[in-house]
Structure 1
Amino acid sequence: MSSSPLRNSSRAATPIAFVRAIVRGYERYGVDPSQALAEAQIAPHDLDNPQARVTAAQFEALSGFAMQQLDDEALGWFARRLPWGTYGMLCRASLGSPNLGVAIKRWCRHHRLLTDDITLDLAVAGGVATVSITEHRALGDFREFCLVSSLRFLHGYACWAIDSRVSLSAASFPFEAPAHRDAYPLMFGGELHFGAAQAGYSFDERYLALPLQRDERALRTMLRRALPLTVLQYRRDRLLGQRVRELLRVRGGEAATADALAELLNLSTRTLHRQLLEEGISLQALKDEVRHELAAEQLRRTDRPIKQVALAVGFRNEKSFSRAFRGWAGMTPGAFRRGAQPVTVSAADP
């Protein structure tokens, strides 16, 4: 027997609870879900197994088929249907925005025109952007799937629009941790909080200033797939270099090695190096840059002996520090402290 391409396309990580939520939408409309399950190659008996999982490809096939068959992209969550093409319209309405912040605000505003069952909002404070959902009616058995999907739709669109991973620092949910809690880090990343006041997630405010990278043609290509917003993963993070710099400056002791730094960023060490390479920079170059900045600050603002400055910025001795600092600044640490100008070495110099 040949194996199923959908079942073997990736690791089965999507909880069967989300499949059951789509079947519940069929029940609401009095439609038989058998054809949709068959299209996604999901065995009906798996619905009764709380431990069962499906692949992203299977879930995408199921969702796309169900949205069209039921003509409801909300899959029964809301008091009224969101007809097929609704989320495409949301994407298109935000596409002309000058940056991601405006695009998200437009998405939230236009979403309110579609349903008043929930509202999405964007707030910014202390360098952190937060997208939150306010519920205006009881969502019943659809609650978890509705809130999770609504957050992921917007997050997926944001990543797609700027062609970059938008790394989340935290995500919150107004229900207790479900049995399939282990699937949540794969969907959101960052710190996870259950039993919160409302659903939402937070990320670095600087993503909001990034310009959109997509046009109408790219949008049409993206919308050929049923649910690309929930299953596409974006490996590149356009703010990764800045985030690494900040961790090295503020939490240098905890981020002394690539492995430790990757763990703080919720990345694998291999992914950290690869993404930095895609940005055209190395981890060592960032470490040198931060060491130079910290050393210069201490030399300018304190009277600490140069040996202590060397140890404070991660060097084992004054000699290696002085050699590195001369390479960065074109002068010795002592000369820098005295306010000397950089030494220019010409090709004719011995």
Structure 2
Amino acid sequence: MAPTDITAGTIPMSFVLNLLNGTPLDPAGQADALARAGIAPVLLGAETARVTTEQFATLYRQLASQLDDELPGMFSRPVRSGSLKFLCLSLLDSATLQTALFRLSRFFHLLLDDFRIELSREGSLVRMALIPRMPQAAANTFGQEILLKLIHGVASWLTGHRMTLARVDCSYRRPSHASEYGFLYPGPVFFEQAVSALYFEAAQLATPIRQDRRSLARFLARAPGDWLFVAFEQHPTRQKVREHLRPRLGLPISAGQTASALHLSLRTLTRRLAAEGTTFQAIKDELRRDATIQLLTKTNTPIAVIGQEMGFEDPNAFHRAFRKWTGSTPGAYRPK
């Protein structure tokens, strides 16, 4: 059995709810898909609950298979199994990313009635915009989130590196999980814009395509994980703090000690984190939360031991902290 990566991230339960709500499955079908993904149904009602990215990807694959729809239930007609494979095959012989993105926009013109993907030049930027083709499409927030991620994930895979974005526009209001966007999109995000769109620096589109049929097989085997959950962090100080804390989650590391390790004063570290919209304690809690969920869902390690590994000598303090992080008890995350 492969070792558990306790540093892997988690995502909010709202992603699971949005995914399920778009499907025509009855409660029994949804319960079966959740069970196969290792997601406890009781967590669906917990507003602050989280799931691992692996659990979400597994649920996504289950629904895609059951519904024969690679964007399960998100749009007015299904995207049949094999569509992503044929899309990527059509892109592999493109000379540059620009040609590939143009082909991608034409491919989705054949697949989707809800949106067309418009490729246009705006000064030094190239915009990939989702233009609604039917009245109800503009209200489909989750479908737009996933489609933007698919475009970006495929572009990143084609070029062999994580593509940065000059900006991301979202036509909808700021969602409750907007804080997660820093990990979904590698660029500044703006809400309530005219249309949802990704903006690339024009020079990036001259990047050659670096993939072939052999690497495509690996990419498809890991879908949707490789295009949906490509982790990004656009806040350099927060990222440095996370990297320092990850191997030390069970130790009583203070903000002052971390500042010294990063060759900063405590005041400077605090100021920089505040400018990035976070605090030292928030970063530490996020890491411990995600690590705990990974261990609860992937191992049989006793809950009390997990608490100790996260730096809690008192089991009651660990339970209180976990409930504060997720709205549920650690036991609710254990597979039944």
Same fold (TM over 0.5): yes
Select 1:230's aligned residue among 225, 228, 234.
228
Match of 1:149 in 2: 146
The residue that corresponds to 1:125 in the other structure is 122
Question: Secondary structure at the residue paired with 2:197?
Answer: strand
1:140-161 alpha-carbon deviations (Å, 9 max, x no partner): 7971210011011110011110
How far apart are residue 50 of structure 1 and its match?
Answer: 2.0
Q: Which amino acid aligns with 1:104?
A: L
1:52 maps to which of 49, 54, 63: 49
Q: Deviations over 1:53-104 (max 9, x none)?
A: 2121111111111101111112112221111121221111111100000000
Residue number in structure 2 paired with 1:253: none
Equivalent position of 1:109 in the other structure: 106
Distance 1:269 1:35 in 2: 40
Equivalent pairs counted in the alignment come to 239
- Aligned counterparts of 1:29 and 1:80: Cα–Cα separation in 2: 19
Counterpart contact for 1:88–1:223, Cα < 8 Å: yes
Q: Which protein has greater RCO, CA pairs closer than 8 Å, 6+ apart?
A: 2
Matches within 5 A, 1:81-230: 81-139=78-136, 143-227=140-224, 228-230=226-228
- Is the contact between residue 97 and residue 209 of structure 2 (CA under 8 Å) also seen in structure 1? yes
SS in 2 for 1:154: helix
CA distance in 1, matches of 2:162, 2:26: 36
Letter in 1 for 2:38: Q
Structure 1 pair 131–44 and aligned structure 2 pair: CA distance change class (3 A): same
- 1:18 Cα deviation after fit: 1.5
Secondary structure of the residue aligned to 1:74 is coil
Q: Which of 69, 83, 105 does residue 66 from structure 2 map onto? A: 69
Any idea what SS the aligned residue of 2:218 has? helix
8 Å CA contact 1:72, 1:84 repeated in 2: yes
Deviations 1:276-300 (A, max 9, x none): xxxxxxxxxxxxxxxxxxxxxxxxx
Distance 1:5 1:231, change over 3 A: same
SS of corresponding position for 2:22: helix
Residue 78 in structure 1 maps to residue 92 in structure 2 = no
Query: Any residues of structure 2 matched to 1:311-330 within 5 Å, and which?
Result: none
Does 1:25 pair with 2:22? yes
Partner-residue secondary structure (3-state), 1:33 = helix
Counterpart code for 1:218: S
Tell whether the 8 Å contact from 1:171 to 1:190 is kept in structure 2 after alignment.
yes
Asked if the contact 1:159/1:234 (under 8 Å) is kept, the reply is no
1:303-325 Cα distance to aligned partner (Å, 9 max, x none): xxxxxxxxxxxxxxxxxxxxxxx
Helix, strand or coil for the counterpart of 1:151? helix
Spell out the pairing of 1:233-244 with structure 2 (5 A cutoff): 233=231
5+ residue gaps, structure 2 = 243-336
Return the offset for 1:121. 1.6
Separation in 2, partners of 1:170, 1:266: 20
Whether the aligned pair in 1 keeps the contact of 2:183 and 2:231 (CA below 8 Å) is no
**Is the radius of gyration larger for structure 1 or structure 2?**
1
Give how far 1:210 is off.
0.6
Residue in structure 2 matched with residue 335 of structure 1 by the alignment: none
Q: SS at 2:74's partner residue?
A: coil
Question: What is the alpha-carbon distance in structure 1 between the residues aligned to residue 166 and residue 159 of structure 2?
Answer: 18
Structure 2 CA distance for partners of 1:268 and 1:11, relative to 1, 3 Å: closer
Please tell me the residue identity of whatever aligns with 2:227.
L
Per-residue CA distance 1:105-164 (angstroms, 9 max, x = gap): 000001100122111122122211111101122447971210011011110011110101
Amino acid at match of 1:40: A
Alignment partner, residue 10 of structure 1: 8
1:282 counterpart residue number:
none
Q: Deviations over 1:204-232 (max 9, x none)?
A: 11110010000111111211123121123
Question: Would the aligned equivalents of 1:100 and 1:208 in 2 still touch at CA under 8 Å?
Answer: yes
Q: Which amino acid aligns with 1:50?
A: E
Deviation at 1:25, TM superposition (A): 3.0
Return the offset for 1:268. 4.4
1:5 and 1:267, CA in 2 relative to 1: closer, same or farther beyond 3 A? closer
**Aligned partners of 2:186 and 2:16: how far apart in 1?**
22
